[in-house]
Amino acid sequence: LSGESSERQKERGEEMKITALLVMKCAGDSAVMLANASDVSQFGYFQRSSAKEFILFVSRTVAARTAPGQRQSVQHE
């Protein structure tokens, strides 16, 4: 964030956590998941399955809208 040190960001509570990292392959109109690493421990026990479903839904949507050979990063609050 704007060139600040990571220590200063941690002090102010601005540390960003990676929730999921996915590798997708588009096959026509559908996207296929090739690899998935996710950490939903920050969510409540009963919310975790919904969080995983949401991550997969957003990933498929973004993969379908991304041009072949292009990387994409998504941030969500």
CA 16, 35, 72, 76 torsion-angle sign: negative
pLDDT value of position 1 = 40
- Whether residue 8 is contained in a domain is answered as no
- Whether residue 36 is contained in a domain is answered as yes
Q: How many CB atoms lie within 10 A of CB 2?
A: 4
CA 58, 24, 19, 48 torsion-angle sign: positive
- In the numeric block, which tokens belong to residue 67? 């041009």
pLDDT value of position 42 = 92
pLDDT value of position 41 = 94
- Whether residue 58 is contained in a domain is answered as yes
**pTM of this structure:** 0.70
Q: 4 exposed, middle or buried (CB, 10 Å; 0-12, 13-18, 19+)?
A: exposed
What is the pLDDT tens value at each position of the chain, 77 positions in all?
445 555 665 666 667 788 899 998 887 778 889 999 999 999 999 999 999 999 999 999 888 888 888 888 777 66
- Say how many domains are in the chain: 1
- Name the residue range of residue 33's domain: 17-65
- Whether residue 60 is contained in a domain is answered as yes
